[in-house]
Amino acid sequence: MARARSVLLSCLLLAVAACVLLPSAFVAPKASHQAPGTEADARLLAATFAGLSPLAVEQPAGAYDSVVAMLQSWLFGGIVLIVIYGAAALASLANPLTKRREQVKAE
């Protein structure tokens, strides 16, 4: 619980520091033909909407499905690794150059 509080406190302090320092960090030139801040506000709104739009899609909160998918992926990955290591072992045992070298060495 103490760790969660420290993480929350750190995030809160970081957000406050960003809000305090951000306005002075970026200075945009004033446009003479537009009202100050109207285009920047529209761009900011569009960027915010585009960034938050994936969060609007609802996804089912099925923990069982995600655990099953995780186990299936681990099983598939393990099988693939076994096949790769098996192929490498077979290739090293059935290497014709190695067999020929052993024949020459035996003669």
Tokens 């305090």 locate to 20
Task: Please tell me what DSSP assigns to residue 57.
Answer: S
Burial of 88 (0-12, 13-18, 19+ CB in 10 A): exposed
Per-residue tens of pLDDT for the chain, all 107 residues: 556 677 788 878 878 877 777 766 666 666 666 555 555 667 777 777 777 777 666 655 555 567 778 888 889 999 999 999 999 999 888 888 888 888 899 88
As a whole number of angstroms, the distance between CA 28 and CA 40 comes to 9
